[in-house]
């Protein structure tokens, strides 16, 4: 006998594959669900889990060390029904790593998984050898210990595996965590109290409690079980009049249009790569996989609120999901007022005559008509360059992430982004058939032998080959920089 929720799942899965078909035949718009904004309620309610915070003091050598072990484990998304999951220092997800600009940090990454993996610091500006991309493989039983100095503005970043062709599977199983580069901007900053991490992921969890896995084409599996920090049906009590939420879309493919059920406004204070120059009021934000936003929300004593998803207009965002149910305590302590100005870096200024590079995303696996090749360097960029990258999406929904840079969005199909999206970023959503122009600022770290990646962050697409590689080299050396990658950089 099938339970009601299993029936619902089957219906959802059937509709998903119809939609996938529709996309493949170019009929997505005609078949997309329309109208309904009725919220899907979770199958259970649980107190929001807050990932443990790691903020180590420096050792005698001045280095702050973060031990991180990739391991297998069991997680009860449904009480009493453990699922097999993967996690970092735990059974699902990993600790939040907090650091400050100027810190010398070292990661000690141990791989106790049955498969090789990597750990990538998404949004971190660091030397390519420390980036944790597909060239920095950690064998089963191996350890990798990258070290760098944090030298970028305060931001919410994240970390996740990046093994060639296996990223979707490793992230789906639970390998991801948040990184906070702390600020001094007068915003709520007490972790887990008025500064709350929200890692949002969709999954399919069976009635037996196990996560469903698949290798299905196009977008991979998308689910209607929303996990926040690994909690199914997350609920949270808040105790202050202002609360900062650090939102991360940690999903493999789903795009979220987020807002509150009562339509209230809130302030966006930061995008992917750091603070805005002023808080931006809005009632709705869109986050595609890998994107982050920090928002500050005001609460009245005793009031309830629901953070939810709203339906969009293509195949990866049809979710009217409840994300987080919030209740404000009867007595709230008064937060300092939201600052009028924020110390954000402002837009990337591209010089006149800046180099323009063009990228076309097509199918589910190609950029500029080629699949990813681990041995090929697609682009060579001079250190410190500011360029315009024009990314054209020829088909259905994609997004675009560049390692080791900040960018600001100049426009999408000629329209500049709204204020809340105008800050520095490292990942941008590309709705079907749209073109984004990005003002990109490259870092100063050079290494002609080790590439960084750019790719679609819909993880099935990345795995299928919608990814390219670039090196950053000393200015003037571009023309003789190697165009192939020699594989010396592997770790055991
Ligand atoms: Cu979030 Cu190439 O990664
Ligand atoms: Cu990245
Ligand atoms: Cu894609």
**Is the Cβ–Cβ distance between 424 and 342 less than 8 Å?**
no
* Nearest protein CA to atom 3 of ligand 1, as residue: 122
Tell me phi and psi for residue 229, to 5 degrees. Answer: 55, 30
314 confidence band (pLDDT: 50, 70, 90)? confident
Tell me the pLDDT tens digit for each residue of 250-289.
999 999 999 999 999 999 999 999 999 999 999 999 999 9
> For ligand 1, what atom is nearest to the CA of residue 462?
2
pLDDT of residue 18: 37
pLDDT digits (tens, 9 = 90+) for 25-68: 333 333 334 445 789 999 999 999 999 999 999 999 999 999 99
Average pLDDT over residues 94-101: 98
Domain of 159, in residue numbers = 53-181
Q: Which ligand is nearest to the CA of 134?
A: 1
What is the tally of structural domains in the chain?
3
Q: What are phi and psi of 6, to 5 degrees?
A: -70, -40
What local confidence, expressed as pLDDT, does residue 144 receive?
98
pLDDT band with cut points at 50, 70 and 90 for residue 20 = very low
Atom of ligand 1 nearest to the CA of 453: 2
> How many A from CA of 399 to the centre of ligand 1?
11
Q: What is the largest CA-CA distance in the chain?
A: 69
Ligand number nearest to the C-alpha of 164: 1
d(CA 143, CA 113): 12
- DSSP state at residue 229: T
**Considering the domain boundaries, does residue 18 fall inside one?**
no
176/312 same-domain check: no
Q: What is the Cβ-side half-sphere exposure of residue 410, based on CA atoms within 13 angstroms? A: 18
Residue 5: which pLDDT band, with cuts at 50, 70 and 90? very low
Does residue 14 surpass a pLDDT of 60? Answer: no
Nearest to 22 by CA among 13, 10, 31: 31
Residue 310 within any structural domain of the chain: yes
**Residue 272, by phi and psi: left (phi above 0), alpha (psi -120 to 50) or beta?**
alpha
Residue with tokens 């080791």: 404
Do 285 and 269 lie in a common domain? Answer: yes
Question: Would you state the torsion angle of the CA atoms of residues 144, 149, 155, 160, taken in this order, to the nearest 10 degrees?
Answer: -10
In this structure, the answer to whether residues 306 and 382 fall within a common structural domain is: no
* Gyration radius of the chain's alpha carbons: 21
What's the CA-to-centroid distance between 31 and ligand 3, angstroms? 20
**How far, rounded to the nearest angstrom, does the alpha carbon of residue 230 sit from its chain's CA centroid?**
15
In a domain, 256, yes or no: yes
Average pLDDT over residues 159-182: 98
| Cα angle 111-113-114, degrees, rounded to a multiple of 5 | 130
- To which H or E segment does residue 168 belong? helix 167-172
In a domain, 15, yes or no: no
| Claim to verify: residue 176 and residue 200 sit in the same structural domain | no
* Ligand 1 atom with least separation from CA of 403: 2
Ligand 1 atom showing the smallest separation from residue 290 Cα:
1
**Which ligand has an atom closest to residue 425 CA?**
2
In the numeric block, the tokens 């350890």 are attached to 143
- Enumerate residues 6+ apart whose C-beta is below 8 A from 126: 146, 148, 404, 445
Q: Which of 135, 160, 181 lies at the terminal end of a domain, its last residue?
A: 181
CA of 459 to the centre of ligand 1 (A): 9
Query: In degrees, to the nearest 5, what angle opens at C-alpha 309 toward C-alphas 305 and 310?
Result: 115
Q: Which residue ranges have their beta carbon within 6 Å of ligand 1?
A: 120, 122, 160, 162, 290, 401, 403, 453, 455, 457
| CA–centroid distance, residue 231 to ligand 2 (Å) | 25
How is residue 199 written in tokens?
A: 């890692």
My answer on whether 211 and 145 are in the same domain is no
286 vs 100: CA distance, rounded Å:
28
| Residue whose CA is at the smallest distance from ligand 1 atom 1 | 122
Please check whether residues 204 and 177 belong to one and the same domain.
no
Structure tokens at 176: 């991801």
Whether the CB-CB separation of 320 and 256 falls below 8 Å is answered with: no
Flag whether 13 is in a domain. no
Residues with Cβ < 8 Å from 467, sequence gap 6 or more? 367, 372, 453, 454, 455, 456
- Read off the pLDDT of residues 142-159 as tens digits, 9 standing for 90 and up: 999 999 999 999 999 999
The last residue of one of the domains, among 333, 368, 399, is: 333
Are the beta carbons of 478 and 385 closer than 8 angstroms? no
Nearest to 235 by CA among 49, 82, 43, 39: 49
Report every protein residue that has its C-beta within 5 angstroms of ion ligand 2.
Answer: 122, 403
Q: Which of 133, 166, 181 is the last residue of a domain?
A: 181
Give the ligand with the smallest distance to the CA of 289: 1
Cα dihedral sign for 284, 289, 292, 295?
A: positive
Shared domain for 223 and 287, answered yes or no, is yes
DSSP 29: H
Looking at the structure, tell me whether residues 389 and 409 fall in a common domain.
yes
**What is the arithmetic mean of pLDDT over 215-240?**
94
Q: What is the CATH number of the domain that holds 237?
A: 2.60.40.420
206 plus 302 within the same structural domain = yes
pTM: predicted TM-score of the whole model, two decimal places: 0.92
Using the atom order of ligand 1, give the atom closest to the CA of residue 123. Answer: 1
How remote is the CA of residue 59 from the centroid of ligand 2, in Å? 28
For residue 124, the CA-to-ligand 2 centroid distance in Å is 8
* Run of H or E residues at 462: helix 459-464
Q: Which atom of ligand 1 is nearest to the CA of 122?
A: 1
H, E, C per residue of 96-146: EEEECCCCEEEEEEEECCCCCECCEEECCCCCHHHCCCCCCCECCCCEECC
- Tens-place pLDDT, residues 349-377: 999 999 999 999 999 999 999 999 999 99
Work out which ligand 1 atom sits closest to the CA atom of 427: 1
Cα 303 to ligand 2 centroid, rounded to whole Å: 38
Instruction: Report which bound ligand comes closest to the CA of 468.
Output: 1
Best CA proximity match to 227, nearest among 254, 199, 261, 256:
199
Distance from Cα 187 to the centre of ligand 3, integer Å: 34
Question: If pLDDT is split at 50, 70 and 90, which confidence band does 491 have?
Answer: very low
DSSP 369: T
Are 162 and 247 in the same domain?
no
Same-domain check for residues 195 and 314: yes
pLDDT, residue 36, reads 58
Same domain membership, residue 314 and residue 215: yes
State in Å: Cα 186 to ligand 2 middle.
28
**Residue 220, domain member (yes or no):** yes
Structure confidence at residue 3 as a pLDDT band (50, 70, 90): very low
């Amino acid at each position: 006998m099938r339970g009601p929720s299993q029936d619902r799942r089957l219906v959802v899965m059937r509709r998903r594959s119809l939609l996938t078909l529709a996309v493949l035949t170019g009929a997505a718009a005609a078949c997309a669900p329309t109208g309904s904004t009725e919220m899907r309620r979770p199958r259970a309610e649980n107190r929001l889990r807050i990932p443990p915070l790691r903020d180590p003091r420096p050792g005698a050598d001045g280095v702050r060390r973060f031990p991180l072990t990739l391991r297998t484990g069991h997680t009860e998304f449904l009480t009493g029904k453990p699922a097999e999951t993967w996690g970092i220092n735990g059974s699902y997800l990993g600790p939040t790593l907090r650091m400050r600009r100027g810190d010398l940090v070292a990661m000690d990454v141990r791989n106790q998984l049955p498969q090789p993996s990597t750990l990538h610091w998404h949004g971190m500006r660091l030397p390519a050898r420390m980036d944790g991309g597909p060239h920095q493989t950690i064998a089963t039983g191996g350890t990798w210990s990258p070290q760098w100095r944090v030298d970028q503005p305060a931001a919410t970043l994240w970390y996740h595996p990046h093994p060639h062709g296996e990223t979707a599977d490793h992230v789906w199983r639970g390998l991801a965590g948040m990184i906070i580069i702390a600020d001094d901007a007068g915003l709520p900053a007490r972790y887990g109290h008025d500064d709350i991490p929200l890692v949002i992921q969709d999954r399919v969890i069976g009635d037996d409690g196990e996560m469903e896995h698949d290798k299905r084409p196009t977008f991979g599996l998308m689910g209607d079980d929303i996990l926040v920090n690994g909690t199914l049906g997350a609920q949270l009590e808040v105790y202050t009049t202002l609360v900062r939420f650090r939102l991360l879309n940690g999903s493999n493919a789903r795009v979220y249009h987020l807002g509150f059920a009562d339509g209230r406004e809130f302030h966006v204070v930061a995008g992917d790569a750091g603070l805005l120059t002023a808080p931006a009021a809005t009632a709705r934000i869109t986050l595609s996989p890998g994107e982050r936003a920090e928002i500050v929300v005001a609460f009245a004593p005793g009031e309830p609120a629901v953070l939810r998803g709203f339906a969009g207009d293509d195949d990866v965002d049809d979710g009217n999901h409840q994300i987080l149910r919030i209740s404000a305590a009867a007595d709230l302590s008064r937060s300092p007022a939201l600052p009028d100005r924020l110390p954000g870096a402002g837009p990337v200024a591209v010089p006149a005559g800046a180099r323009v590079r063009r990228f076309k995303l097509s199918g589910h696996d190609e950029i500029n008509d080629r699949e990813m090749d681990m041995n090929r360097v697609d682009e060579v960029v001079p250190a410190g360059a500011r360029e315009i990258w024009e990314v054209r999406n020829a088909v259905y929904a994609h997004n675009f992430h560049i390692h080791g840079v900040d960018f600001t969005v100049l426009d999408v199909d000629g329209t500049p982004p709204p204020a809340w999206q105008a800050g520095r970023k490292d990942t941008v959503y590309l709705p079907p058939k749209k073109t984004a122009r990005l003002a990109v600022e490259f870092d100063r770290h050079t290494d002609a032998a080790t590439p960084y990646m750019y790719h679609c962050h819909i993880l099935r697409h990345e795995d299928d080959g919608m990814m390219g590689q670039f090196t950053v080299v000393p200015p003037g050396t571009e023309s003789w920089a190697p165009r192939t990658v020699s594989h010396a950089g592997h770790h055991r």
